[in-house]
Amino acid sequence: MAETFAAALVAVRDKGRPLPDEPLAWLLTIARNKLIDSLRRGQVERAARQQLGLTALRIDDEDLDRIEELIDSTDVASTLAGQLPEDQLLALRARILDERDYSEIAGTLRCSEAVVRKRVSRALRTLREAMEDT
């Protein structure tokens, strides 16, 4: 996680790069790519942390216990379910979390790809507006 945010910070500080239109999707993409790279190499990349002068974090049992407490108290799926209609939630989950193709989702939900795209778009817009209101 630290490497993801360090890489994002390096990118944001680069004046020659535009900011992403979808920051959440951008961060998730960075995290996914960092995880895949780490698994391939069998080690965590530290280039961005070193570029920023950040040290590696040491996590002990107390930290892990606190993380578990936070996970238990933060149910993202329930939060999303409370903010989105079921059809949008299903489409968003299939597209973003499960990384399924629109055509595959359309077959599962028995609707057109255009309908799936619209549901995902509406769900993202609803979540974006909710984030802006907080």
Domain boundaries, the chain: 2-57, 76-133
Pick the CATH number of 76-133 from 3.30.390.30, 1.10.10.10, 2.30.29.30, 3.90.1150.10: 1.10.10.10
Average pLDDT score, the chain: 80
pLDDT for 109 equals 93
Nearest to 46 by CA among 60, 31, 56: 56
Name the pTM for this structure.
0.45
At residue 45, the 3 state secondary structure works out as coil
User: What confidence tens digit (pLDDT) does each residue in 31-64 have?
Assistant: 888 777 776 765 555 666 676 677 766 777 887 7
Report the sign of the C-alpha dihedral through residues 63, 68, 70, 76, in that order: positive
Q: In angstroms, rounded to a whole number, what is the distance separating the alpha carbons of residues 33 and 45?
A: 11
pLDDT for 20 equals 80
